[in-house]
Amino acid sequence: MVLTSIRSAIGVRAVAAVLTMALFAACTSADSDSTSRSPAALDAALRAAAWEDDLDAARRLVERGADVDAKDETQQSAYLVATSEGHLGILELALASGADVDAKDSWDGTGLIRAAERGHHLVVGRLLRAGIDKDHVNRIGYQAIHEAVWLGADEADELSTVQVLVAGGVQLDRPSGQEGLTPLQMARQRGYHRLGRVLEAASAHRPFPDPDAALLSSARSGDADSVALALRDGADLETVDAAGRSALVLASAGDHVEAARVLVALGADRW
């Protein structure tokens, strides 16, 4: 029942996207008349640009006064669209334009919940770095970590999403409102062995005595779960070893993609 309701909500988002994009096409045929648009029309055009992932158009509309937090009748804003669709450029524009990082959608869900549901690990990491409420519970009793597991899959994007959430310090032991299952129990019920592995490691984890050393060692060996746990324990993302190599450099040198994905999502310097 809950899953059907959530999938229906996804359908509503898709319909809203089509309607808003049609409005965008009608509103943006010529830049020359844009100064005569009402604030509401500018906001609608910005939402459409967000659905389309048209960063150039979105930037121009923001410059003309469009509001990244302005919502339509379905409670979609340009900011919230960016989170659910994984449009990182639009998200950066929204955050730079003062978006309310804790804005809620029609399900009383945050952008973090929306991004986690879709397995957008880079968006999840960016929102955590922006200080979003990482443990908010939506109106059906789900946190972001619940959505990432229950509505996800046992694939690479979902795996990275769960690892990033673990690294970001989200609560891991709260039962979901509907099923009464913790994230680990959800993974087991779904038969998600990879997600279950991450959550089992987190459940059994005892804080590292030296999180920085643990981060470097884990990155060197390619243990992405331990990378996440070292960051959860407070490791410095940019700590370096005796040779001046950061965790990301070590993971990249060993071709440890899974570990590198976690580090990049949480803001590791790629250079």
- Residue 153 included in any domain: no
Q: How far apart are CA 77 and CA 65, in angstroms?
A: 14
- Residue 19 included in any domain: yes
Supply the pLDDT for residue 37.
80
**What average pLDDT does range 159-187 have in this prediction?**
97
Q: How far apart are CA 206 and CA 140, in angstroms?
A: 31
pTM of the model: 0.87
- The pLDDT tens digits of the residues spanning 27-47 come to 444 343 444 589 999 999 999
CATH number, position 238? 1.25.40.20
- CA angle in degrees (0–180, nearest 5) for 114-116-121: 125
Distances 221 to 86, 226, 240, 252, 265 between C-alpha atoms, Å: 30, 10, 15, 11, 19
Distances 158 to 10, 121, 126, 245 between C-alpha atoms, Å: 18, 7, 16, 28
Supply the pLDDT for residue 3.
45
Supply the pLDDT for residue 154.
98
Give the residue numbers spanning the domain of 11. Answer: 1-100
Percent of the chain with pLDDT over 90: 85
Percent of the chain with pLDDT over 70: 86
The answer to whether residue 159 scores a pLDDT higher than 80 is yes
- Residue 151 included in any domain: no
- Residue 260 included in any domain: yes
Closest CA to 171 of 151, 206, 199: 199
Least confident of 10-14, 214-218, 259-263: 10-14
Burial of residue 55 (number of CB atoms within 10 Å: 0-12, 13-18, 19+): middle
- Residue 161 included in any domain: no
- Residue 192 included in any domain: no
Please identify, among 41, 71, 100, the residue that sits at the C-terminal boundary of a domain: 100
Structure tokens at 156: 């690479």
- The pLDDT tens digits of the residues spanning 106-118 come to 999 999 999 999 9
Q: How far apart are CA 4 and CA 9, in angstroms?
A: 9
pLDDT band of residue 178 (cuts 50, 70, 90) is confident
Helix axes 193-204, 224-232, angle to 10 degrees: 40
* Total domain count, the chain: 2
Neighbours of 10 (CB within 10 A): 12
Closest CA to 228 of 268, 262, 269: 262
- The pLDDT tens digits of the residues spanning 184-220 come to 999 999 999 999 999 999 999 999 999 999 999 999 9
Neighbours of 95 (CB within 10 A): 17
- Residue 230 included in any domain: yes
- The pLDDT tens digits of the residues spanning 127-137 come to 999 999 999 99
- Residue 137 included in any domain: no
